[in-house]
Chain A
């Protein structure tokens, strides 16, 4: 039975005799020596991760202007920061996007620019008070000009993360990157063998107060992160560190097409090896960390899982989905994760970084709840029109024009002889046919690729489909492709107008 204390290990760090290895190296050491011998040999195991962590940001204190202002709204390079606290404190969040540049520039970029030593433009507004009379302020500040710049990330370093794929017939753009149609690829996040929390899944040494590597500087774990869901193996960390000491080697702004901005955060957590249980936990390999591949094509909180998968399989470059070999991509950089684990190892070996015991351990066996929604979720069948006027594909364009005129429906679903959906025809199609002097059959002028919806889909999802395809109405079809209703952008506007 091995038993060491933090005090003993820090003594060894001080006198230079500490034995520190990375979590990757530890896999082999425990494999060769067994957990007990490894626990005697090794004093500290270092972990590392470098990936997109949206729930990140920085608390800034700008100092007081003359005359002073109590900021009510503040923008840094046109990106809004939250200042609903004291006069000149603000939180710049990674995913807030620019008022002028949109998704090309966001809070993450402001943070990276500040670390690079660049100046940012500050614009603040207030309604003015007796103690803070100023109403508008414009200035230019660099990191050196601020009193504090404290990175405070509410949710980082997920223990493991679901991998993503896409069952639909079009490419979708997500925070997991571009997901190609028909299971065209799989993307994943997390460092697997080097993941901090996967190397201490029972939180024996990681908790409130643990000293860590954050963005190239020393930082601390504040405690459990938001949405910490340790029960299912999805623990998270809230962390803090001094932005002024960080480096763009380990903090980088990112843009995910169609999603927005995020921050790549580099973090390393040291795990002091106090006994063989801890040594055994740090021996976890990529093969020992299992996650799920979820279908991001289903726009729901409960995305269906395609299968379980280990990080070893994900890292091999291909995974099997329904008998198909699907290429994988990591969104986290394993190379950088390794550099971080080695950098932290170096710090400890050189006596520049000491390990700590948490003052409070992270909660175990808790799970994150879904949102309680007090307003019912509207589905298509609640608001679709069920009296639908259709037309046969063999009808004449003249008939179609007459029906549209008589019924004032702008969209006519076109049916095959077996009543299944063949296409759609609109007043615009008829106008076009007339302008081309083409008075043939409906079949010749209809749009064949019809955007449709199902009756049990959520209205919010369907509204986005209308928007993306730039159409104003969709036939609602059943599984036999029979038209059972129509849903229009007017129906959706009325639904929301009624609510507000």
Chain B
């Protein structure tokens, strides 16, 4: 399952993820990370049955953990099937069928939000993190 780890500026320089991985022995597969002066955000995959353990360990170190269980939402009434989203998606969620209809395979979505910025028709959205 996918999770988002929010790290506030006070603990930004501390290796809290490394510590949590060592402490729990649970693996985190990081798919994206963003840091600036004000905060940090990391999106990662973790085994569903190990989530509670990892969440507790990260939370103890000051991070805020959110489950990302809703993939990209496609609003078919706003979509004009231009295919702008196709080339920016890192995991090939979007493709065009033979008849140029848009096909959305949301199981592949890592919820990075790149397509949300790209879509000219506000037809793509992320429920809980964008």
- Cβ–Cβ < 8 Å partners of A185 in chain B: 87-88
B117 at the interface (CB under 8 A from A): yes
B44 at the interface (CB under 8 A from A): no
- Cβ–Cβ < 8 Å partners of A334 in chain B: 83, 100
- Cβ–Cβ < 8 Å partners of B83 in chain A: 329-330, 333-334
- Consensus secondary structure, chain A interface: strand
How far does the Cβ of A332 sit from chain B's closest Cβ, in whole Å?
A: 6
* Nearest-neighbor residue (CB-CB) of B99 within chain A: A335
Q: Which chain A residues in 187-221 approach chain B with CB under 8 Å?
A: 187
Residues A331 and B120 in contact in the complex (CB < 8 Å), given A178-B114, A336-B80, A336-B81: yes
A75 at the interface (CB under 8 A from B): no
A264 at the interface (CB under 8 A from B): yes
Q: Which chain B residues in 55-84 approach chain A with CB under 8 Å?
A: 80-84
- Cβ–Cβ < 8 Å partners of A187 in chain B: 84, 87
How far does the Cβ of A320 sit from chain B's closest Cβ, in whole Å?
A: 14
B20 at the interface (CB under 8 A from A): no
A186 at the interface (CB under 8 A from B): yes
How far does the Cβ of B5 sit from chain A's closest Cβ, in whole Å?
A: 23
Asked if B100 and A335 sit within 8 Å, CB to CB, the answer is yes
Tell which of A128-136, A251-259, A408-416 binds the partner: A251-259
A155 at the interface (CB under 8 A from B): no
A232 at the interface (CB under 8 A from B): no
The number of chain A residues touching the other chain, given as a range, is 20 to 34
Contact flags B88-99 to A (C-beta < 8 A → 1, else 0)? 100000001001
* Nearest-neighbor residue (CB-CB) of A257 within chain B: B117
Whole-angstrom distance between the alpha carbons of A329 and B88 in the complex?
Answer: 8
Asked if B120 and A256 sit within 8 Å, CB to CB, the answer is yes
Whole-angstrom distance between the alpha carbons of A184 and B85 in the complex?
Answer: 13
Asked if A177 and B118 sit within 8 Å, CB to CB, the answer is yes
B110 at the interface (CB under 8 A from A): no
A228 at the interface (CB under 8 A from B): no
Residues A329 and B122 in contact in the complex (CB < 8 Å), given A178-B117, A335-B99, A335-B100: no
- Cβ–Cβ < 8 Å partners of A280 in chain B: none
Asked if B114 and A333 sit within 8 Å, CB to CB, the answer is no
How far does the Cβ of A141 sit from chain B's closest Cβ, in whole Å?
A: 25
Total contacting residues, chain B, CB less than 8 A? 19
B128 at the interface (CB under 8 A from A): no
How far does the Cβ of A258 sit from chain B's closest Cβ, in whole Å?
A: 8
Asked if B80 and A50 sit within 8 Å, CB to CB, the answer is yes
Whole-angstrom distance between the alpha carbons of A300 and B104 in the complex?
Answer: 36
- Cβ–Cβ < 8 Å partners of B114 in chain A: 178
Residues A186 and B100 in contact in the complex (CB < 8 Å), given A51-B82, A264-B80: no
B54 at the interface (CB under 8 A from A): no
- Cβ–Cβ < 8 Å partners of A262 in chain B: 120
- Cβ–Cβ < 8 Å partners of B85 in chain A: 329
Q: Which chain A residues in 265-305 approach chain B with CB under 8 Å?
A: none
Q: Which chain A residues in 36-69 approach chain B with CB under 8 Å?
A: 50-52
Asked if B100 and A338 sit within 8 Å, CB to CB, the answer is yes
A328 at the interface (CB under 8 A from B): yes
How far does the Cβ of A315 sit from chain B's closest Cβ, in whole Å?
A: 9
How far does the Cβ of A331 sit from chain B's closest Cβ, in whole Å?
A: 5
Whole-angstrom distance between the alpha carbons of A327 and B121 in the complex?
Answer: 21
B86 at the interface (CB under 8 A from A): yes
- Cβ–Cβ < 8 Å partners of A50 in chain B: 80
6 extra interface residue pairs, beta carbon distance < 8 Å, beyond A178-B114, A333-B100? A254-B120, A257-B117, A329-B84, A330-B83, A333-B80, A333-B83
Q: What are 16 A-B contacts defined by CB distance under 8 Å? A: A52-B120, A178-B88, A180-B87, A186-B87, A187-B87, A252-B80, A254-B121, A256-B120, A328-B87, A330-B82, A330-B84, A333-B80, A333-B100, A334-B83, A335-B99, A336-B80
Shortest 9 CB-CB contacts between residues of A and residues of B: A329-B87, A185-B87, A254-B120, A335-B100, A327-B87, A333-B82, A257-B117, A178-B118, A333-B80
Give me the interface of B with A, judged by CB distance under 8 Å.
Answer: 80-88, 96, 99-101, 114, 117-118, 120-122
